[in-house]
């Protein structure tokens, strides 16, 4: 689909939203123009360095830690059936715990701090990466495995030259899912226990009944999610260019 068609659909949806919200006159759903005015007031202000950048740092910090741990453990579990059997029940129990429910626990351990928010994000985002890495590591072509044994590849060359490339598509699928979860957990952790950040400002606007401002922060979160996803897709496109015909 051409880019201008997508833009036209988006603009059409905004026009419909504007008309419906004006006719409905519901204070909880302000028109897009009022939200745009609030965004122009809030986004370029000191909130950018005081709130937006710290939130992005927390997202990237937690997501990066979860990505490294998830890929490392996922590949190890995927290539070792015995190791996977040992940790199966532990990982099944941990990944079924809803991360938002653990925010009070993390607050007790780390206090109201950046560490608490990063740990919350990392705990909630590690599972999609780990499970996809396990699945990807197990899907290595048996012919490649036999060839590697014949040529007696070292452990490092086997992992980085065979396993990771074969598991790459599924690992990137897990990374995309986990990045979306990271944004959600960033907002939740900042609303509950933070003194700065997008989630904190969102909660503050809600408490002050600044509905256009609240929707402006929601729109910013949506925009950041879109941009981060597009950036990760670009990285995936370059990293997996060899796998496309």
Q: Is the dihedral of CA 48, 53, 59, 60 positive or negative?
A: positive
Please name which of 104, 130, 125, 132 lies closest in space to residue 62, comparing C-alpha atoms: 125
pTM: predicted TM-score of the whole model, two decimal places: 0.88
pLDDT of 134: 92
pLDDT digit string, tens, across residues 103-136 = 888 888 888 888 999 999 999 999 999 999 999 8
pLDDT of 46: 62
pLDDT digit string, tens, across residues 153-206 = 777 888 888 888 888 999 999 999 999 999 999 999 998 877 888 999 999 888
**Structural domains for the chain:** 32-243 (1.10.3720.10)
Beta-carbon neighbour count of residue 72 at 10 Å? 14
pLDDT of 179: 94
pLDDT of 218: 93
Give the max Cα distance, the chain: 73
């Amino acid at each position: 689909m051409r880019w201008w068609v997508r833009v036209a659909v988006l603009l059409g949806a905004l026009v419909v939203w504007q008309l419906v919200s004006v006719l409905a006159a519901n204070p909880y759903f302000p028109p897009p123009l009022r939200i745009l005015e609030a965004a122009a007031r809030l986004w370029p202000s000191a909130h950018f360095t005081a709130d937006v950048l710290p939130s992005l740092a927390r997202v990237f910090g937690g997501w990066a830690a979860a990505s490294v741990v998830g890929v490392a453990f996922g590949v190890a579990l995927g290539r070792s059936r015995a190791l996977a059997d040992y940790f199966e029940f532990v990982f099944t129990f941990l990944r079924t715990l809803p991360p938002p429910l653990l925010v009070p626990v993390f607050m007790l351990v780390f206090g109201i701090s950046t560490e608490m928010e990063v740990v919350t994000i990392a705990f909630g985002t590690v599972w999609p990466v780990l499970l996809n890495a396990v699945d990807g590591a197990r899907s290595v072509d048996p012919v490649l495995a036999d060839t590697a044994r014949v040529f007696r590849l070292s452990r490092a060359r086997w992992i980085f030259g065979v396993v990771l490339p074969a598991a790459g598509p599924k690992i990137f699928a897990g990374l995309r899912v986990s990045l979306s979860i990271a944004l959600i957990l960033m907002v939740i952790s900042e609303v509950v226990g933070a003194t700065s950040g997008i989630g904190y400002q969102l909660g503050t606007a809600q408490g002050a009944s600044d509905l256009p401002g609240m929707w402006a922060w929601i729109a910013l979160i949506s925009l950041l999610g879109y941009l981060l996803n597009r950036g990760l897709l670009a990285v995936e496109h370059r990293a997996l260019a060899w796998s496309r015909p």
